[in-house]
Amino acid sequence: MDSHEPDPPRPCPAQAEPWDSVEVLYAWLEEHNRQPPGEALLLRMLKLAEETGEVAQAVIGAIGQNPRKGVSHDWDDVRAELCDVIVTAMVALRTLSPDARAVLAAHLARTTARTGTAPPPGGK
């Protein structure tokens, strides 16, 4: 491995709770961060935009919209890119708030309430 590349993050146990995995990723990023805190935060937000662009690229490739490239992706690629967006957003949220889990839960509750539907039983 190139000496300029950080070690990969520690693997998370199978079926780990998503926020536990986010904590591992966040800690790994913090350990290898070489930027001032404010700049690191901005770069994590920009990473989210990059990942979103990769979703768009995968969708365009899945439907063959680019005549020069044809069908270059499939819907599994789109699903994987969407997961990357979710993980990146969760890590960015964790960077902004140590209690990211509660922040997201409260936001989901408000969003669900706006639809006029009841929250799921047991808060799940």
Contact 6, 32 (CB under 8 A): yes
Residue labelled with tokens 């509750």:
109
Model confidence over 38-82: pLDDT tens digits?
999 999 999 999 999 999 999 999 999 999 999 999 999 999 999
Contact 55, 85 (CB under 8 A): yes
Res 16: pLDDT: 73
Model confidence over 85-96: pLDDT tens digits?
999 999 999 999
Res 117: pLDDT: 83
Res 2: pLDDT: 43
